[in-house]
Amino acid sequence: MRDTYGRNINYLRVSVTDRCNLRCVYCMPEEGIKSLKHEDILRFEDTLKIVRAATALGINKIRYTGGEPLVMKDIDKLIYETSKLPGINDIAITTNGILLSDMAGDLKKAGLKRVNISLDTLNSEKYKSITRVGNLDKVMESIDKCLSLGLKPVKINTVLMRGINDVEFENFLNLTRELPVEIRFIELMPIGEGIKIYEKNNLSFMEMLGLHPELTKIGTEKSSTAELYKLTGAKGKIGFISPVSCKFCGDCNKIRLTSTGTIKPCLHSKEEINLRKYLNNEKMLTNAIKSAIESKPLEHHLREESASRSVKGMSQIGG
Ligand code: SAM
Ligand code: SF4
């Protein structure tokens, strides 16, 4: 459906859990966040009810995320049931890739179309220091597995940070020479743990582009608002997503469902609409989602404010 500003909202991002098996420095504190009680997290059947109700409003694209979606017990079942809903034509996940190589085959059979794998460094030691606990080999295995299974396109989300992984920019470019992946450089956002390092580590992509004239612009990916580039002869592509410095709210087509059952019309706003009380009435559920879409603000104000107005971090909202 169209929101108040004429944007066509057809995309629902669903956080299936706030738990994660990593502790990325810009996302979660080392000790983790206080986990929600089991009963406060939506059951898989309830998530499905909400997704079904959203399809009545023209939502046709679902991304399961978290926290880490692959730590959710029934994620394969949830994907399978989602794939059977009339109107859904795209199911994707965003994952850190640690558990993916073992699960990718089953998830594809269940109906998964595409994956975004988060990876901020190609150096094992640095991977351990950014994620605090992760094993880079597992992620690289997952990327190969997804490519061999034909889960297309495989996109790699890389948060580029000054003084942390900016020196690896060229290594990521070179990865696209060998692999048919899309590396998507994402600006660090002042949200969650990102607030603590934003001033010191944020980096403008204009700066990187200026240093790399060998990158040729090939277009804009409307659905994700990534500016796309390519190296001559490379198998893959490079995308730049700048939610802070070039906000793309005018093209925003999504709403988010948190793992506790609230809709967030905008990532950077405090506003949340609780759907739990409507779970047993599909019509009321659809109406509540409709009101949430109608209340979607025109834009966020991250550039003018030093931090997101959302009280939750990305792992709690679903990035
Ligand atoms: N655990 C999964 C993963 O890492 O892919 C899914 C959830 S994670 C919150 C989704 C995405 O949000 C990841 O690509 C991560 O890099 C990004 N993210 C988290 N905090 C961020 C921040 N402060 N700024 C920019 N991106 C952030
Ligand atoms: Fe976990 Fe993803 Fe956050 Fe990293 S970015 S801590 S993998 S939720």
CATH number of domain containing 238: 3.20.20.70
Give the residues across from 221 on adjacent strands. 226
Closest CA to 312 of 249, 273, 268: 268
Predicted model pTM: 0.96
Establish if 2 belongs to a structural domain: no
- Look up residue 195 and give its DSSP letter: H
Give the residues across from 255 on adjacent strands. 12
127 CA from centroid of ligand 1 (Å): 14
**Phi, then psi, of 13 in degrees rounded to 5:** -100, 130
Q: What tens digit of pLDDT does each residue of 34-53 get?
A: 878 888 999 999 999 999 99
Establish if 1 belongs to a structural domain: no
Q: Which of 268, 314, 316, 317 to mutate to test the pocket of ligand 1 (most atoms within 8 A of CB)?
A: 314
Statement: residue 206 has pLDDT above 90: no
Other Cβ atoms within 10 Å of 177 Cβ, number = 12
245/65 Cα distance (integer angstroms)? 24
Establish if 167 belongs to a structural domain: yes
287/54 Cα distance (integer angstroms)? 9
Establish if 169 belongs to a structural domain: yes
Statement: residue 179 has pLDDT above 80: yes
Q: What tens digit of pLDDT does each residue of 83-124 get?
A: 999 999 999 999 999 999 999 999 999 999 999 999 999 999
Does ligand 1 come within 6 angstroms of the Cβ of 134? no
Establish if 301 belongs to a structural domain: yes
Q: Which domain does 64 fall in, by range?
A: 11-317
Establish if 290 belongs to a structural domain: yes
Statement: residue 296 has pLDDT above 90: yes
Does ligand 1 come within 6 angstroms of the Cβ of 198? no
What is the reported pLDDT for 65?
97
- Report whether 269 contacts 297 (CB < 8 A): yes
What is the reported pLDDT for 221?
83
57 CA from centroid of ligand 2 (Å): 30
What is the reported pLDDT for 170?
96
133/194 Cα distance (integer angstroms)? 18
Mean of pLDDT values over 167-188: 97
Mean of pLDDT values over 220-242: 91
89 CB contacts (<8 Å, ≥6 apart)?
Answer: 60, 61
Q: Check the annotation: does 52 bind a ligand.
A: no
- Report whether 256 contacts 293 (CB < 8 A): no
Q: Check the annotation: does 256 bind a ligand.
A: yes
What is the reported pLDDT for 126?
98
DSSP string, 68-127: -GGGSTTHHHHHHHHHTSTT--EEEEEE-STTHHHHHHHHHHHT--EEEEE---S-HHHH
User: What letters, b where the CB count within 10 A reaches 16 and e where it falls short, cover 125-144?
Assistant: ebbeebbeebebebbbbbbe
Establish if 87 belongs to a structural domain: yes
Number of domains in the chain: 1
Helix (H, G, I), strand (E, B) or coil at 226: strand
Establish if 236 belongs to a structural domain: yes
**Cα dist from 81 to 21, 45, 64, 69, whole Å:** 25, 9, 13, 16
